[in-house]
Amino acid sequence: MALDDDTLESTHPLQQADTISLLDDEQKIGGADAAEVLNDLSDPPAVQEELSRSALVTVFCSLYVGVFLSALDGTIVATLLAHIASEFHEFRSVSWIATGYLIAQAAVQPLYGKVSDVFGRKPVVLFSNVLFGVGSVLCGLSNSIWFLVFARVIAGIGGAGLTSMSAITLSDIVPLRQRGLLQGIGNILYGSGAAFGGIVGGIITDRFGWRWTFLSQGPIILLSIAAIYFNLNLPKKHVADSGDKLKRIDFLGSLTMVCGLVLFLFAVSIGGSYQPWLSFSVIAPLVISFFFIGAFVYVELYVAAEPVIPLRLLKNRTVAGSSFTSWFLVMVYYAHIFYIAIYSVSVRGVSPTRSGSSLIPHFVASAAGSLACGAVMRSTGRYYRMIILASCSSTIGAILIASVGRETSQLQVMAYMLFPGFGFGVYLTVTLVGLIAAVPREYQAVTTSIQYGFRGIGSTVGVSVASAVFQNVLAAKLTARITGENAAEIIRRVSDSVDEVANLPEDLRDSVIQSYLDSCHAVFYMAVVLIICCAGSSLCMKEYVLHNNVSRR
């Protein structure tokens, strides 16, 4: 019987799922006969001993050093773009430093779960750390903008593993009842990295130059690699030989998926900013990406013996709900984080430092939401009410942010950011734990990768779509409001730089500020629609048992 909601009842779903949840009585799943797979699952998994508290703390810290660095790296890069553009004289291409990382991360993130199932968690965790470290060092040694983008792609492939493999590995060694609290602590580390990245990047850049912000990550990654190598000891899975390992890798599915995602993300990244949406440069990769994505679906359903992403898992409404919640959530997150800062600078006229401070409540509330959600799940074993709370908090916050105007104070903006921040933190924790609880243990790695894949794609699509909405509305409003002699030159100047607004005559300045406000409003209205979709997806999730032991017995 298939992995649908009738099979996985909310009372004791995993006792049933351990043997028959993913099998059709008369169909083949991923090329394997149902009888054969049932035979393979008939032996109960060995009961795994749980780690002592000290060992768990050591492993947790070893894993999340990489997560902290990955978050730190993201916001550091945001602060460095102007410096890098000045050195290489490539302002128009400099955004690819961030986009290249995001595309690489999104494209490979879904692969880590299946690859770690085949080769083991520890080697894959070490591999992702090494790639991230090598990519970061190469960034510091770059002699051109495009070599830097290449290095960012390498770092992005490693960074995808840092985030997803920490969650996958933690699920192997921690009971679901405790998992939420540790995930909350992990989210605090991620949020701390994101919050302090700009500060750290600014300090290092001012004193030593932007290259050292990348080079300094190398020694820290070496410490992380050493800690993981000596402290992460997981039960080894028996695999006959390397030939069998290679046979278990879904190369065709992986190739079609990566090609489809890269082409799709490339198209949405350049559409509206570098090229018109209806240009050949955007339409062609979009059409080809749909072909590859269709081929990927066919391969996963009918060809692959062990699909890299078992698409039948998405028949379960909790798996699908959690994945699409993550998709919409990160789109809203980037719309708020980027454009609240732009609103503060362009409309309110505050300094970049003060505009950055308006984001701090979001990170603080996110940490509080993660911890609160984890504590509730640990004490009660339940999480659906937290989903409802996150839905309400996020929706209220998005509506409040969409109401900001020219007279809204900075204190009000900071207060508004608390609501989506709290909802974001709760969602990050509850969607991951609920997703893992909804499937058998042997599928928790690939489903975790699915969710992180949805997050990665959502982040890239969110940045691209929000940018397209903002730029198109801004261009339309400026064209309508600024007329007369030198109108085109004025529009070009204020579109390229917010600093130019202060140099305009007072009558023109008012029109430009209102145009920026209208453009920010367009992004914030889009975020309201997206957060409603996010809430609807999350409410489709069901509540499953959160076991008190790793073996789920």
CATH number, residue 172 = 1.20.1250.20
- Of residues 298 and 117, more confidence is placed in 298
Q: Please indicate, yes or no, whether residues 169 and 224 belong to a single structural domain of this protein.
A: yes
Mean pLDDT of 32-44: 36
Domain membership of residue 70 (yes or no) is yes
**Is the pLDDT score of 327 beyond 80?**
yes
What is d(CA 247, CA 244) in angstroms, rounded to the nearest whole number?
A: 5
In this prediction, residue 86 carries a pLDDT of 64
Domain membership of residue 19 (yes or no) is no
Mean pLDDT of 140-166: 87
- Of residues 424 and 379, more confidence is placed in 424
Please give the angle made by the CA atoms of 423, 549 and 12, to the nearest 5 degrees. Answer: 75
HSE toward the beta carbon, residue 335, CA cutoff 13 A: 33
What is d(CA 154, CA 149) in angstroms, rounded to the nearest whole number?
A: 9
Q: Please indicate, yes or no, whether residues 394 and 438 belong to a single structural domain of this protein.
A: yes
Entry pTM: 0.74
Mean pLDDT of 24-51: 39
Phi and psi at 482, nearest 5°, equal -110, 115
Q: Give the least confident one: 364-378, 391-405, 539-553.
A: 539-553
Contact 66, 132 (CB under 8 A): yes
In this prediction, residue 30 carries a pLDDT of 38
- Of residues 10 and 255, more confidence is placed in 255
Q: Please indicate, yes or no, whether residues 279 and 338 belong to a single structural domain of this protein.
A: no
In this prediction, residue 552 carries a pLDDT of 56
Task: Compute CA 18 distance to the chain's CA centroid, rounded to the nearest angstrom.
Answer: 29
Work out the pLDDT band at 41, boundaries 50, 70, 90. very low
Domain membership of residue 296 (yes or no) is yes
Work out the pLDDT band at 17, boundaries 50, 70, 90. very low
Domain membership of residue 290 (yes or no) is yes
* % of the chain beyond a pLDDT of 70: 79
Q: Please indicate, yes or no, whether residues 452 and 491 belong to a single structural domain of this protein.
A: yes
Q: Please indicate, yes or no, whether residues 301 and 326 belong to a single structural domain of this protein.
A: no
Cβ neighbours of residue 125 closer than 8 Å, sequence gap 6 or more: 63, 116, 161, 165, 166, 169, 228, 232
Mean pLDDT of 168-177: 75
Work out the pLDDT band at 400, boundaries 50, 70, 90. very high
What is d(CA 432, CA 142) in angstroms, rounded to the nearest whole number?
A: 37
Output the average pLDDT for the chain: 77
Domain membership of residue 495 (yes or no) is yes
Q: Please indicate, yes or no, whether residues 427 and 519 belong to a single structural domain of this protein.
A: yes
In this prediction, residue 551 carries a pLDDT of 57
User: Considering its fold, how many domains does the chain have in total?
Assistant: 3
**Is the pLDDT score of 35 beyond 50?**
no
Domain with 553 in it: 320-553
Three-state DSSP class for residue 52 = coil
